């Protein structure tokens, strides 16, 4: 039975969300520490602190869902565009203009940039609302899928509202915005400015935007923390995980039991699959196919649980790939292909940090390896690939061929099996391919747990 804390798992998994947002790793964790320090100042109760803690940690759970739309609207790299947005006061027209000049179709011709600029300018308010709404709604729903409290989910939905009503998605003002959401909104901006320019800049930006972006009372409490506080030392990378663990109220620690771990794997599969319309339900289907193969091969139940979680999370590293590459309708160039080939490396890096997922981090990161050693990202030959890794590889290819891609239609089942049959014994493990072929025509049981 697992006794790991939910906060330990989620603080490690929050690195995946930082990648998607284009923020330095640890952004969500540091925002969490800043918000919890503010909670100390406000003398919040343990219940309030627990709800707030998870809202801060999972604030970007919806970040992948608007990535494709950001890429489409700006015509560039969604992660750069998202990061750039937080570095400016986008409600100030001069800064908004500077932002647009920097991020609107940066690689386009002057005419292309002008066209896109004009489109964005005429639909600015509705585009902003759409982008925030997608992210906030999805974030709240992912939080619910994780099984955290409803006030936590509501805070995530409203964290981009501003005190004077100029925020999104509803344009709520003052006390209409839940307190936790006001704290999350302030903490994330403070963290970004701390990371960019240091402690004084974090304090200054909150003071400067008080009454517009931020609740003036909260801004006052935050600025009263001052630049000499221990908080700023705790934000350093080496001490971050311990500091986050200490920030959770001890009276309200939530254990990550087996069913909670399944929920976490499923919730992050939703985050991954929301990144592109072409990967909709991919992780869930790979888990269902992998589980069916394992059943056919007689894999023991306990191993199947591990396999399903590895399958749900196998592409978590894809959150590092910009949508201009993921959704590109044509052939990828060499640099773009390099970025794609690195995604299993990020899967490993993310899962290896999570105590209860680290034991399948390697297997999950081998899902593009081939038994002839011609796969990526390590080029490991068959002898180095476990049964789990081999099953994941077959299930991944099966679903990738069965689903549409930006550059081709979905393939019929006979064609998919024929291609996989050609790879039997060269790219894919023959035992696994035989099991897959045996179950391919059966209805799959959803891996949704
Ligand atoms: Fe992959
Ligand atoms: Fe995949």
Are residues 296 and 376 located together in one domain of the fold? yes
Are residues 180 and 195 located together in one domain of the fold? yes
Answer yes or no: pTM beyond 0.95: no
Q: Which ligand is nearest to the CA of 340?
A: 1
What pLDDT was estimated at residue 449? 35
Instruction: Give the Cα-Cα-Cα angle 246, 247, 251 (nearest 5 degrees).
Output: 85
Q: Which ligand is nearest to the CA of 348?
A: 1
Give the distance (Å) from ligand 1 centre to CA of residue 1: 30
Number of domains in the chain: 2
Are residues 231 and 318 located together in one domain of the fold? no
The pocket of ion ligand 2, defined by CB under 5 A, consists of 315, 396
Q: Which residues are designated catalytic?
A: 318
Are residues 198 and 283 located together in one domain of the fold? no
How high does pLDDT run on average in the chain? 90
What pLDDT was estimated at residue 418? 95
Are residues 278 and 335 located together in one domain of the fold? yes
| DSSP alpha helix (H) spans, 43-123 | 46-57, 67-74, 78-86, 93-103, 110-122
DSSP secondary structure code for residue 276 in this structure? -
Are residues 264 and 365 located together in one domain of the fold? yes
Of the residues 204, 233, 252, the one at which a domain ends:
252
- Residue keyed to tokens 């201009």: 324
Are residues 27 and 138 located together in one domain of the fold? yes
* pLDDT band, very low/low/confident/very high, at 123 (cuts 50, 70, 90): low
Q: What is the pLDDT of residues 240-265, one digit of tens each?
A: 989 999 999 999 999 999 999 999 99
* pLDDT band, very low/low/confident/very high, at 409 (cuts 50, 70, 90): confident
Are residues 148 and 275 located together in one domain of the fold? no
Give the distance (Å) from ligand 2 centre to CA of residue 240: 31
The CATH number given to whatever domain includes residue 163 is 1.10.3210.10
What pLDDT was estimated at residue 405? 75
Q: Which residues of 265-298 are buried (b: 16+ CB within 10 A; e: fewer)?
A: bbbbbbbbbbbbebbebbbbbbbbbbbbbbebbe
Give the distance (Å) from ligand 1 centre to CA of residue 55: 29
Residue-number span of the structural domain to which 243 is assigned: 6-65+130-252
Give the distance (Å) from ligand 1 centre to CA of residue 315: 5
Give the distance (Å) from ligand 1 centre to CA of residue 366: 9
Q: What is the pLDDT of residues 308-341, one digit of tens each?
A: 999 999 999 999 998 889 888 888 999 999 999 9
Interatomic CA distance for residues 10 and 248, integer angstroms: 12
Are residues 286 and 354 located together in one domain of the fold? yes
Are residues 273 and 416 located together in one domain of the fold? yes
What pLDDT was estimated at residue 410? 82
Give the distance (Å) from ligand 2 centre to CA of residue 62: 20
Mean pLDDT of 296-313: 97
Q: Are 304 and 4 in contact (CB under 8 A)?
A: no
Q: Which ligand is nearest to the CA of 347?
A: 1
Of the residues 225, 252, 279, the one at which a domain ends:
252
Instruction: Answer whether residue 24 is part of any domain.
Output: yes
Q: Which ligand is nearest to the CA of 278?
A: 2
Q: What is the pLDDT of residues 199-213, one digit of tens each?
A: 999 999 999 999 999
Q: Among the listed ranges 42-51, 84-93, 143-152, 306-315, which one has the minimum average pLDDT value?
A: 84-93
- Residue keyed to tokens 């909260």: 218
What pLDDT was estimated at residue 401? 92
- Residue keyed to tokens 């509501």: 154
């Amino acid at each position: 039975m697992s006794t790991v804390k939910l906060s330990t798992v989620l603080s490690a998994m929050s690195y995946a969300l930082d990648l998607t947002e284009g923020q330095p790793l640890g952004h969500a964790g540091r925002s969490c520490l800043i918000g919890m320090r503010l909670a100390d100042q406000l003398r919040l109760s343990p219940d309030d602190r627990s709800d707030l803690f998870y809202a801060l940690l999972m604030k970007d759970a919806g970040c992948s869902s608007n990535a494709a739309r950001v890429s489409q609207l700006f015509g560039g790299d969604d992660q750069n565009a998202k990061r750039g947005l937080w570095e400016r006061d986008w409600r100030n027209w001069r800064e908004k203009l500077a932002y647009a000049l920097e991020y609107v179709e940066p690689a386009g011709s002057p005419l292309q940039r002008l066209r896109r600029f004009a489109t964005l300018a005429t639909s600015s308010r509705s585009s902003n609302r759409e982008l925030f709404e997608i992210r906030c709604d999805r974030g709240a729903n992912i939080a619910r899928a994780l099984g955290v409290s409803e006030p936590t989910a509501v805070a995530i939905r409203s964290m981009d509202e501003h005190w004077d009503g100029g925020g999104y998605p509803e344009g709520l003002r003052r006390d209409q915005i839940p307190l936790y959401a006001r704290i999350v909104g302030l903490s994330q901006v403070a963290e970004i400015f701390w990371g960019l320019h240091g402690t004084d800049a974090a304090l200054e930006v909150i003071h400067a935007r008080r009454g517009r972006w931020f609740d003036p009372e909260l801004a006052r409490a935050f600025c009263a923390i001052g630049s000499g506080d221990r908080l700023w030392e705790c934000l350093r990378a080496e001490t971050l995980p311990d500091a986050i663990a200490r920030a959770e109220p001890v009276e309200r620690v939530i254990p990550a039991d087996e069913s909670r771990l399944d929920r976490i794997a499923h919730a992050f599969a939703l985050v991954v699959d929301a990144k592109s319309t072409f990967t909709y339900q991919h992780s869930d289907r790979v888990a269902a196919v992998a589980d069916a193969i394992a059943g056919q091969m007689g894999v023991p139940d306990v191993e199947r649980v591990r396999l399903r979680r590895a399958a749900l999370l196998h592409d978590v590293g894809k959150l590092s790939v910009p949508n201009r590459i993921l959704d590109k309708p044509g052939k990828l160039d060499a640099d773009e292909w390099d970025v794609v080939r690195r995604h299993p490396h990020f899967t490993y890096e993310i899962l290896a940090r999570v105590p209860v997922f680290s034991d399948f981090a390697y297997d999950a990161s081998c899902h593009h390896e081939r038994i002839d050693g011609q796969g990526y990202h390590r080029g490991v030959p068959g002898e180095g690939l476990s049964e789990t890794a081999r099953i994941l590889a077959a299930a991944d290819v099966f679903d990738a061929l069965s689903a549409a891609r930006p550059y081709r239609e979905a393939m019929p089942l006979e064609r998919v099996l024929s291609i996989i049959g050609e790879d039997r014994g060269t790219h894919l493990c023959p035992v696994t391919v035989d099991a897959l072929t045996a179950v391919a025509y059966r209805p799959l049981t959803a891996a949704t747990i």
